[in-house]
Amino acid sequence: MKKLIQKYLFNRWAAFLHDILWVPLALILAYLLRFNFDGLPGAYQLALYKLLIVAPPIQGFIFWLFGLYRGFWRFASIPDLVRILNSAGTGTIVLAGCSGFLMRFQGVPRSVFILYPLLLVGGLCSSRILFRWLKDHRISLRKRSGKRTLIVGAGRAGELLVRDLLHRVEYEPVAFLDDNPGLKSREIHGVRVVGKLNDITQIVPEQDIDLVILAIPSAGKKVIQHLVQLCREVKVVFQTLPSVLEMQGMDVVADHLRPVTVDDLLGREPVQLDKKAISGYLFGKTVLVTGGGGSIGSELCRQVASQQPDTLIIFDHGEFNIYTIDHELRANFPDLQLETILGDVKDRDRLDWVFSFFGPDVIFHAAAYKHVPMVEVNPAEGVRNNVYGTQCVADAADRHQAKKFVLVSTDKAVNPANVMGATKRAAELYCQNLDRRSETSFITTRFGNVLGSTGSVVPLFQRQIESGGPVTVTHEKITRYFMTIPESVSLILQAGAMGRGGEIFVLDMGEPVLIKDLAEQMIRLSGLEPGKDIEIVYTGLRPGEKLYEELLHKSEGLQPTSHEKLLLARSRKVEWSWLTEKMVCLQQAASSRNIEKLRKCLQDVVPEFKREEKGQSVVTITDTIQN
């Protein structure tokens, strides 16, 4: 680090010295040009000597003031040219004032004040351009040993990416592919657009390509799947830039390239968000995220932090999880007022202290047990955490008059066939009905499985593939809805902005995914063949597991909202005294570990709760939206 600082300072002072030397040179050349290089009369020589004394310190101070030495010559660009023009113009005006004050313009031809800035700008710019050209030319010559790279996508992301790749010896950008006919045969930073996306199978062998980079962050899953298939056909290594959602606030550089993942193949089309509305209820507010160390909770913390809240409170019972997200956020958001609180959502005293001391305006309740088989064999703990824990946080929000409470729920709460789903449905009911009695707005968000989240099938498949298989799938026909973690969280924030209280927002999840196909895609992404290199074994449905997931109960009837990807389900009204009585029953049964009583109380609250061993047919959103 010390050597890097010394090198930076040396380069900075070297550039400053170079620019200072150009000041007297430009003045001398301006005088010589004025007199056609025939020599200067004595009176003009004296005036020139005086200008040569005062000009370097004045112009040097102006150079520094205008920030000519903040950047590097190697990356000189239009902003640097603007700074040079401004500093040369300002310096000329100051020098003209000095010559008038000191010499009353005697011996100073007016043309000098026109020639001087032109010569100075020319000298400073030509040196920088030459330096950058030499650097780029030298790198270009060395790149013959780098990976011959084909960039798919010649848009803004592709242009920024190739600009970065040209400065790296490990890459040799060879060509672009893009479906825009107006770009055919055009060059971007010297790299030609040679065809369309479908030409991958032709260009890769022709150009001896080592690496294909997908530089289309806004591409949908169908485009990505098609491009990946083409790359597989010619057996070439491929990487991608992150999606638009992931790229927020990031520069388009080679450091962010990564392998194509199952998230890219199963992720849905990019979602447009009302960023102004989201910022409107988070900016400058105190925000509490329960379960903030989990996969969904930690992403909630990241996206909330980007909205510049006054204070972000992370509440979690897992010491390592909360330490990890705390460390990350402090590094990425150094100006954020961050509070990390160890605690249990079932601890009313701890919650009361948090609400009394910090007074959160918005609460995102993501703390929950969500692993279906684990909760199925530990039903009492599932009820205590998912139902009683939600009740404790919701009651605290009500008592302390928080503005909004957003419950993170799941599609497994619909016609639940397992304890986990039933507990989440009970939590939904409590929040919906508490909303009618509270100043706080209680909002529920419901969506399907999240790719890569803790306990999801994707990390399990990945571990099984890395160990050589087999990959275990419970049933050949089992399907699930999927979404990425960043997308799920962004829609939670969007629902929070749209909700006024009592709503259940359901995400339009598109088409369900056959888990067998997911397993096969993950095996192929690892460079292996399913059935040949890695076997897929069917183990049978687990306790409480459905064959098909559902997004709504038949009585809920979805309504469209102002956001095309968020739909509104009708909430279920129940008598408050009856509901609170059942909540007490559930809590007592869970505390005494009376599982029979617990299941009966749970079925009283959620009458649609029943175990299904053979699966159920899916209820599709498009069939249930009411016009």
Q: Given a cut of 50, is residue 464 above it in pLDDT?
A: yes
436: three-class secondary structure by DSSP: coil
What CATH architecture is 281-605? 3-Layer(aba) Sandwich (3.40)
The secondary structure of 5-58 as a DSSP string is HHHHHHHHHHHHHHHHHHHHHHHHHHHHHHTTTS---HHHHHHHHHHHHHHHHH
**Whole-number pLDDT of residue 9:** 45
- Give per-residue pLDDT as tens, 199-235: 999 999 988 999 999 988 877 778 888 888 899 888 8
Kindly report which listed range (240-249, 289-298, 521-530) carries the lowest average pLDDT score.
240-249
- Give per-residue pLDDT as tens, 332-380: 999 999 999 999 999 999 999 999 999 999 999 999 998 888 999 999 9
- Give per-residue pLDDT as tens, 231-260: 988 888 888 887 766 656 566 777 778 888
> Strands, DSSP E only, in 434-499?
441-447, 449-451, 471-473, 479-480, 482-484
Angstrom distance (rounded) from CA 267 to CA 483? 6
CA distances from 213 to 234, 302, 345 (A): 14, 27, 45
Q: In this structure, what DSSP letter does residue 207 have? A: T
Mean pLDDT of 30-54: 78
Q: Assess whether the region 146-260 and the region 281-605 belong to the same CATH fold.
A: yes
Angstrom distance (rounded) from CA 134 to CA 172? 17
Query: How much of the chain, in percent, has pLDDT values that exceed 70?
Result: 83
The torsion angles phi and psi of 91, rounded to 5 degrees, stand at -60, -40
Which conformational region is residue 190 in: left (phi greater than 0), alpha (psi within -120 to 50 degrees), or beta? left
Angstrom distance (rounded) from CA 68 to CA 90? 14
Q: Which residue has the higher pLDDT, 567 or 625?
A: 567
The topology (CATH level 3) of 146-260 is Rossmann fold (3.40.50)
Angstrom distance (rounded) from CA 404 to CA 496? 8
Mean pLDDT of 479-502: 83
Mean pLDDT of 105-133: 79
**Whole-number pLDDT of residue 13:** 72
Angstrom distance (rounded) from CA 289 to CA 391? 15
Q: Which residue has the higher pLDDT, 285 or 90?
A: 285
Task: Give the active site residue among 346, 370, 404, 412.
Answer: 412
Mean pLDDT of 449-476: 77
**Whole-number pLDDT of residue 420:** 92
Give the orientation angle of helix 485-498 with respect to helix 295-305, to 10 degrees: 60
**Whole-number pLDDT of residue 251:** 66
Angstrom distance (rounded) from CA 216 to CA 158? 7
**Whole-number pLDDT of residue 618:** 36
CA distances from 391 to 280, 377, 429, 583 (A): 27, 22, 10, 9
Cis bond before residue 459 (omega within 30° of 0): no
The pTM is what?
0.63
Query: How much of the chain, in percent, has pLDDT values that exceed 90?
Result: 30
Residues facing 149 on adjacent strands? 173, 211
- Give per-residue pLDDT as tens, 424-437: 999 999 999 999 99
What's the sign of the alpha-carbon dihedral 92, 98, 101, 104? negative
**Whole-number pLDDT of residue 4:** 44
CA distances from 182 to 162, 194, 199 (A): 19, 12, 16
Q: Given a cut of 70, is residue 99 above it in pLDDT?
A: yes
The secondary structure of 294-355 as a DSSP string is SHHHHHHHHHHHTT--SEEEEEES-HHHHHHHHHHHHHH-TT--EEEEE--TT-HHHHHHHH
Asked if residues 445 and 406 have their Cβ atoms less than 8 Å apart, the reply is yes
**Whole-number pLDDT of residue 254:** 75
Q: Given a cut of 90, is residue 413 above it in pLDDT?
A: no
What's the sign of the alpha-carbon dihedral 188, 192, 197, 201? negative
Residues facing 187 on adjacent strands? 192
| Residue 247: other Cβ atoms inside 10 A | 15
Q: Residues near 409 by Cβ (< 8 Å), separated by ≥ 6?
A: 424, 427, 428, 444, 445, 446, 504
Mean pLDDT of 460-464: 82
Cis bond before residue 470 (omega within 30° of 0): yes
Please name which of 564, 392, 425 lies closest in space to residue 504, comparing C-alpha atoms: 425
Angstrom distance (rounded) from CA 24 to CA 59? 10
Angstrom distance (rounded) from CA 406 to CA 564? 20
| Residue 424: other Cβ atoms inside 10 A | 31
Q: Given a cut of 70, is residue 451 above it in pLDDT?
A: no
Angstrom distance (rounded) from CA 384 to CA 602? 12
**Whole-number pLDDT of residue 422:** 93
Please name which of 605, 194, 195 lies closest in space to residue 388, comparing C-alpha atoms: 605
The torsion angles phi and psi of 454, rounded to 5 degrees, stand at -60, 125
- Give per-residue pLDDT as tens, 542-598: 766 667 665 555 555 566 676 766 777 777 788 999 999 999 999 999 999 999 999
- Give per-residue pLDDT as tens, 321-330: 999 999 999 9
Q: Given a cut of 60, is residue 616 above it in pLDDT?
A: no
Band of pLDDT at residue 6, cut at 50, 70 and 90: very low
Mean pLDDT of 490-505: 88
Angstrom distance (rounded) from CA 626 to CA 567? 10
Residues facing 191 on adjacent strands? 188
Q: Given a cut of 80, is residue 139 above it in pLDDT?
A: no
The torsion angles phi and psi of 191, rounded to 5 degrees, stand at -105, 125
Asked if residues 196 and 256 have their Cβ atoms less than 8 Å apart, the reply is no
Mean pLDDT of 97-106: 77
Q: Which residue has the higher pLDDT, 273 or 623?
A: 273
Band of pLDDT at residue 617, cut at 50, 70 and 90: very low
Asked if residues 526 and 533 have their Cβ atoms less than 8 Å apart, the reply is no
Band of pLDDT at residue 67, cut at 50, 70 and 90: confident
* Residue spans of alpha helices (H) in 467-614: 485-498, 515-525, 576-591, 595-605
412 catalytically annotated: yes
Mean pLDDT of the chain: 81
Asked if residues 266 and 513 have their Cβ atoms less than 8 Å apart, the reply is yes
CA end-to-end span of the chain: 64
Please name which of 260, 261, 317 lies closest in space to residue 294, comparing C-alpha atoms: 317
Residue 434 tokens, joined: 């508490």
Asked if residues 69 and 19 have their Cβ atoms less than 8 Å apart, the reply is no
Residue 132 tokens, joined: 């950058």
If you average pLDDT over each of 176-190, 367-381, 527-541, which comes out highest? 367-381
Domain residue spans in the chain?
Answer: 2-140, 146-260, 281-605
**Whole-number pLDDT of residue 77:** 62
Mean pLDDT of 471-486: 80
